[in-house]
Amino acid sequence: MANISDDIKEVLLDEGKIKKKVKEIGKRISQDYDGKDLLLVGILKGSVPFMADLLKEITIPCSMDFMAVSSYGNSTKSSGVVRILKDLDFEIENKHILIVEDIIDSGITLAYLVDYLKGRKAKSVEIACLLNKADRRKVSVNAKYIGFEVPDYFLVGYGLDYAEKYRNFPYVGILKEEIYK
Ligand code: IMP
Ligand code: MG
């Protein structure tokens, strides 16, 4: 594969692998939500590449919105505190919500968001997450669609950042420790 950044120790998931998985998930979503009023809610900014690719693989009509939350700052460890920086643009009463997220780590962000959206009377709230770091879970989260189980390394690319960098890489890679230590 061409053009791997010097800051990357190893490519975990290349573009082709991601593309194939996103296609599969899109197909499942199209079947599961056929005839339902589906709203995809992307969590900014990490979900953007996944959202853009997934959206095009969903063949039923659906809508899209975004929320921005903060729990990380510039460190590689969660602060455990979730703040809503940007809320939804529309009411979600009676809609089927599918939260689109890059990665589940401690689970704190998604557990909070699921509760929050259920509290706003959505008809259902489910999660589509590209990556799952199951070993790091602190609170339980049930994701209906998971792309890949990943080991506990700090990952960047395909939406994932370190200090707001690397989101643009088309692959998911392990960041070299010397970059953040
Ligand atoms: P959680 O609340 O601990 O599950 O954190 C989820 C959020 O942490 C994700 O949306 C990411 O922004 C961030 N995160 C967790 N692990 C990584 C990683 O390996 N690389 C980059 N961001 C990560
Ligand atoms: Mg994030």
Catalytic residues: 105
Taking a 5 Å cut-off on Cβ, the residues next to ion ligand 2 are: 46
User: Is the CB–ligand 1 distance for residue 150 below 6 Å?
Assistant: no
Q: What is the Å distance from ligand 1's center to 123 Cα?
A: 27
Q: For residue 81, name the pLDDT band (cuts at 50, 70, 90).
A: confident
- The 10s digit of each residue's pLDDT in 151-174 is 999 999 999 999 999 999 999 999
To the nearest whole percent, how much of the chain has pLDDT over 90?
Answer: 89
Q: What is the Å distance from ligand 2's center to 121 Cα?
A: 25
Domains of the chain listed by start with CATH number: 4-180 (3.40.50.2020)
The pLDDT of residue 70: 85
Cα separation values, 68 from 22, 71, 74, 135, Å: 22, 10, 16, 25
User: Is the CB–ligand 1 distance for residue 113 below 6 Å?
Assistant: no
Q: Is residue 73's pLDDT more than 60?
A: no
Sheet holding 8-13, edge to edge: 8-13, 172-175, 155-156
- What is the C-alpha to C-alpha distance for residues 117 and 135, in angstroms, rounded to an integer? 26
Residues 6+ apart with CB under 8 A from 41: 64, 65, 66, 67, 88, 97, 98, 99, 100, 117
User: Is the CB–ligand 1 distance for residue 126 below 6 Å?
Assistant: no
- The 10s digit of each residue's pLDDT in 43-55 is 999 999 999 999 9
Q: What is the Å distance from ligand 2's center to 58 Cα?
A: 23
What's the pTM? 0.94
